[in-house]
Amino acid sequence: MSELVFRTLEEFAAVDEPGAEALARATDGEGTVIAAEGLVIVYGDGGAGKTTLVVDLCFALATETAWLGIVGVDRRLRVALIENEGPRQEFRKKLERKIAATDAQLDGRIVILEDPWAEFSFALEQHRAWIAAAIDTADIDLLVVGPLASVGAKGGGTPEEIEEFVKLLRDVRNRCTRKFAALLVHHENRAGQISGAWERAPDTLMHIQAQGHGRTRIYWQKVRWSSALHETSTHLLWAEGESYTVEKKPDVTPDTIAENLLAAIGENGGASWTKIRDLNDDDGKKIIAGNTTEKAKIRDRLLAEGVIVNTARKGLYNLWRADDPACPRSEPGTGPERLPFTSPDGASEPSRSAVPYVSRNGSGNGTADEPETDPLGTVEEFAWEPS
């Protein structure tokens, strides 16, 4: 290149450049998940199910099946898979179980590196030459390699170390006559984040997290070319044949929070806010879905509207539905009693608000965890900051 070449935005955008093909795309809205010449990183803790999930993705891509109903392809892809850790015989058994559980015809579209086993490294020039030749020979669209720490990435993942590894991958691309995407499997650090400064490198970054036996979560931490998936989560249930189904969760809106909160208070009249807020159903799921701050806002709105009342003293919560006949009354027929609370400036005067006030403690809005006891023998405190 002898000079810098600029084009107008219209001219630049109008060029259909080879390599811009979307190998896999978001089915719900526009956007590319895996691009030709793109880089995908899947990371998570050991035992999170990364290998099982990636193998399931490979089967979908090779059979032109929409993966989890989320990621779709327009043609059957060819995949090369390098598993660079663990005993080879166990990986054979894993793939055998997967094949037995599906009626999909792969027709040789997924190839596995058999030898050398667990010794491949992008840092070796001969290995880069071999893998480039294999990609061209087998018409590979997607190269899947992991774990990242064993295939030539050095150190703890500083920006300089990452750039050095990316250059090795770029060398493989330059040796190939066809364009391919790469998917790398990596580990997380102790903080639950990707190990090393890898966030900038990939086009798509997926965090895999175990959610207890039978459940897995994908957090689409970064999907550069798909706003439909970027910074969203997909909750999965384990299914037969080392596969998954998407767990359908009800939509959470202010209306659903209010409805569930009213139902919970109706069945637990006089209960504390902590108890109401954290109630679980028989399956261990929150009865009132939503984040803590939003639930507190809905609670305060219902108190202000008089739909629910608080009969607690000394800055506590005992919540009732206003139409609950069991709700304590100051006098028959006069409605819920109005209770005195200390005013914000410390003066002793009655508060006419159904929401008790205590001084700021840094938590705000009733979201702080209540202590088990206090010096007055009460069961909980709460912090609420008036708007």
Q: How far is CA 100 from CA 50, 93, 241, 315, in A?
A: 20, 10, 8, 62
Residues 361-375 have pLDDT tens digits of: 444 444 444 443 333
Q: What is the pLDDT of residue 103?
A: 83
Residues 194-212 have pLDDT tens digits of: 999 999 999 999 999 998 8
Q: What is the pLDDT of residue 282?
A: 80
**Domains of the chain by residue range:** 19-246, 250-387
Q: What is the pLDDT of residue 330?
A: 58
Average pLDDT value for residue range 35-56:
94
Instruction: Name the DSSP letter for residue 37.
Output: T
Residues 291-323 have pLDDT tens digits of: 888 899 999 999 999 999 999 987 789 999 999
Q: What is the pLDDT of residue 30?
A: 77
Residues 138-189 have pLDDT tens digits of: 999 999 999 999 999 988 899 999 999 999 999 999 999 999 999 999 999 9
Contact 228, 31 (CB under 8 A): yes
Q: How far is CA 195 from the centre of its chain?
A: 17
Looking only at the bridges linking them, the beta strands covering 204-210 and 39-44 are parallel
CATH class of the 19-246 domain in this structure: alpha beta
Asked if residue 135 has pLDDT above 70, the reply is yes
Give the range with max mean pLDDT: 147-151, 334-338, 346-350, 357-361: 147-151
Residues 225-253 have pLDDT tens digits of: 999 899 999 999 999 889 999 988 777 88
pTM over 0.75? The answer is: no
Q: What is the pLDDT of residue 183?
A: 98
Rounded to the nearest 5 percent, the helix, strand and coil shares of the chain are 25, 20, 55
Task: State the Cα–Cα distance between residues 369 and 363, nearest whole angstrom.
Answer: 9
Instruction: Name the DSSP letter for residue 354.
Output: S
Residues 324-336 have pLDDT tens digits of: 999 987 544 444 4
Phi, psi of 240 (to 5 degrees): -65, 155
Asked if residue 129 has pLDDT above 90, the reply is yes
Quickly state the pLDDT bin for 20 (edges 50, 70, 90).
low
Average pLDDT value for residue range 79-87:
96
